[in-house]
Chain A
Amino acid sequence: MSEEHVPTGGREGEHKQAGGGLGMLAAGFVVAIVVGWLLYPAIVMSSKPQPINFNHKAHGAEGAGLACDGCHTFREDGSFAGIPKLDNCIQCHESAQGESPDEAKLIEQYVTPNKEIPWLSYSYQPLCVFFSHAAHVKMAQLECTTCHEDMSKSSSSPPVKVYRISGYSKNTMSMEACEDCHAEKGTSNACFVCHK
């Protein structure tokens, strides 16, 4: 250890020191990234798998040719049904269509016993929030992908990340995001537009 503190005076020594410093910096960077990107999220968020690994790609434009509103429908009273019920699945999957293990699981565990699939919501909003899909999709003509991830390209269902303390999911839209867009489009930002 003491050797390092002895000033060598030579150029070689300076190089060595600079190299060691850079090495330390790089190591620190790696540690920070591991802690920040992997460790910290694992501490603050729980990760729950979906009951079935749903393949959006196989159902969408590149597969069965369904549009988003083929399964994610509006009810007659104007409310948005959100996650589809088992009835939707049964329309095509009363018996197996292919050989995927996920489909076999669907039929065995849910279709045959006629049990609803306990899907987890990625974008669950707090109780005090009213989000109107009708206003955004029917009136403002926004695409689903404006706010949601483009699921038509995803062939698996990622686990749902939920903040352990607050209970909000990682994808819950923040009030700031709503307000920014409303301000940009000249839509009212009065409290009772979105709160209930």
Chain B
Amino acid sequence: MSEHHEVASKEKYGMVIDLDKCTGCGACTVACLSENNHYVREDESDKLRSVAWMKVYKVTNGEPFPNTKVAFIPRPCMHCDHHTPCVSVCPVMATDYNPLTGIVSQIYTRCIGCRYCVGACPYHARYFNWWDPVWPEGMHKLLNPDMSPRMRGVVEKCSFCNHRLQKAKDKAYVEGRRDLRDGEYVTACAEDCPTKAITFGNMKDPESAVAKLIKSPGAFRLLEKLGTQPKVYYLSNESWIRALGDNALGRKRTARPA
């Protein structure tokens, strides 16, 4: 599915999340929910059924009390660059890899809800919509017109706020440019993060902030051994966090949703 990619494109969007800066506040999740027209169920206490494209996991080093360390791992869609698992299994092409931007799409009106992709995704980044979206009275006015709402019976996931890319491009076109400047297109979570732990930008632009951060020594990706080449990088100086990133065996560890 993926050797398709090397086309003459100057863009490939990626994200860098500095786990040493992340406080686990969940502002990225809230920004994402609000930006992408998520509805809220009457009872959201069962987090296993909650739809959160940007989910914050809490991890510990598994050591007993005075040595316990805790970190938070925000997890959007990884937009895998190689053998994108969800794209490989989708029977109806409701999801594709855009070779121009590196963004993996999800087309809700095309999805038949078979959930192969949910099973295929190694990062649990895909969610099935079990209920028709219902917003409390008056909340329709807060919906984002740039993002389509999803209906019951389809799979949804983080789109790297692709609609923001579309808008940024429109602005550039009207100004007579084709290329975007660094920072013109950022996701809602990156914009909202109070500690600026999330950086977003064009990885192919050597001057962009993400391109520089990716080269830092503490950079790693989740489950790199699978070879999916995610475009979401994490930074940490803590070796136990980096080891968790590849789900290393032989360590005591716990990971559960925060």
Query: Which residues of A are interface residues toward B (Cβ below 8 A)?
Result: 74, 76-79, 126-128, 130, 132, 134-135, 138-139, 188, 190-193, 195-196
B101: chain A residues at CB < 8 Å are 192
> Do A78 and B98 have beta carbons less than 8 Å apart?
no
Q: Is the CB of A132 within 8 A of B170?
A: yes
Contact A191 B173 (CB under 8 A): no
Given contacts A79-B167, A191-B98, A192-B101, contact A126 B172 (CB under 8 A): no
Q: When the two chains form their complex, are residues B178 and A139 in contact, meaning their CB atoms are under 8 A apart? A: yes
In the complex, the answer to whether B105 meets A190 with C-beta atoms within 8 Å is yes
Which stretch, B133-141, B144-152, B221-229, B242-250, touches the partner chain A?
Answer: B144-152
Contacts of B162 in A (CB 8 A): 192, 196
Most chain A beta-carbon contacts within 10 A, residue among B97, B99, B107, B174: B174
Cβ contact within 8 Å between A78 and B167: yes
Interface assignment of B108: CB less than 8 Å from any CB of chain A: yes
Write the nearest CB–CB distance from B26 to chain A, whole angstroms: 25
A188 touches B98 (CB 8 A): yes
Contact of B107 among A138, A139, A195 (CB under 8 A): A195
Query: In the complex the two chains form, what is the Cα distance from A188 to B7 in whole Å?
Result: 11
The CA of A95 and the CA of B211, in the complex, are separated in Å by 59
Complex CA gap A196/B169 in Å reads: 14
A138 and B174 contact, CB distance less than 8 A: yes
Chain B positions within 8 Å of A77 at CB level: 167, 170-171
Q: Are A78 and B109 in contact (CB under 8 A)?
A: no
Assuming the contacts A77-B170, A192-B162, A196-B148, asked whether A128 and B99 have C-beta atoms less than 8 A apart, the reply is no
Let me know if B178 and A128 touch, CB within 8 A.
no
| Proximity bits, B166-184, A CB within 8 Å = 1, else 0 | 1101111111101000000
Given contacts A188-B100, A196-B147, contact A78 B172 (CB under 8 A): yes
Cβ–Cβ < 8 Å partners of A190 in chain B? 96-100, 105
Instruction: Provide the bound-state CA to CA distance between A128 and B98, in Å.
Output: 17
B50 at interface (Cβ–Cβ under 8 A)?
no
Q: How far is the CB of B32 from chain A (nearest CB, A)?
A: 15
A127 to B147, CA, bound (A): 8
Nearest-neighbour CB distance to chain B for A193, whole angstroms, equals 7
* CB <8 Å contact, B148 and A128: yes
Do A78 and B105 form a contact, CB below 8 Å, given A132-B169, A196-B163?
A: no
Give chain A residues whose Cβ lies under 8 Å from the Cβ of B96.
190-192
Q: A78-B167, A190-B96, A192-B162 are in contact. Are A132 and B173 (CB under 8 A)?
A: yes
Q: Tell me the complex Cα distance, A135–B175, Å.
A: 11
**In the complex, which residues of chain A have a beta carbon less than 8 angstroms from the beta carbon of B100?**
188, 190, 193
CB-CB under 8 A from A127, the residues of chain B are 148-149
CB-CB nearest in chain A for B162: A192
Number of A-B pairs whose CB atoms are under 8 Å? 76
CB distance from B143 to the nearest CB of A (A): 10
Of chain B, the residue at the smallest CB distance from A138 is B173
Take A134-B173, A134-B174, A135-B173 as given contacts and tell me if A192 and B159 are in contact as well, using a CB distance cutoff of 8 Å.
yes
A88 nearest CB across to chain B (Å): 19
Q: Assuming the A-B contacts A190-B105, A192-B105, are A78 and B170 also in contact, with contact meaning beta carbons closer than 8 angstroms in the complex?
A: yes
Question: Is the Cβ of A74 less than 8 Å from the Cβ of B148?
Answer: no
Q: What are 11 A-B pairs with beta-carbon distances under 8 A? A: A78-B167, A127-B149, A132-B173, A134-B171, A135-B170, A139-B173, A190-B105, A191-B105, A193-B98, A195-B105, A195-B148
Q: What B residues does A138 contact at CB under 8 A?
A: 173-174, 176
Cβ of A139 to closest chain B Cβ, rounded Å: 5
Roughly how many angstroms separate A128 CA and B109 CA in the complex, as a whole number?
7
Q: Which A residues lie within 8 Å of B109 (CB)?
A: 126, 128
- A135 near B107 with CB under 8 A, answer no
Query: Is B103 at the interface (CB under 8 A from chain A)?
Result: yes
Question: Once the chains are docked, how many angstroms separate the CA of A52 from the CA of B94?
Answer: 41
> Using a CB-CB cutoff of 8 Å, which residues 188-234 of chain B contact chain A?
none
A77, A126, A128, A132 pick with most chain B CB within 10 angstroms: A128
Given the complex, which residues of A lie within 8 Å of B146, measured CB to CB?
A: 130, 196
Contact with A along B75-105 (1 / 0, CB 8 A): 0000000000000000000011111110101
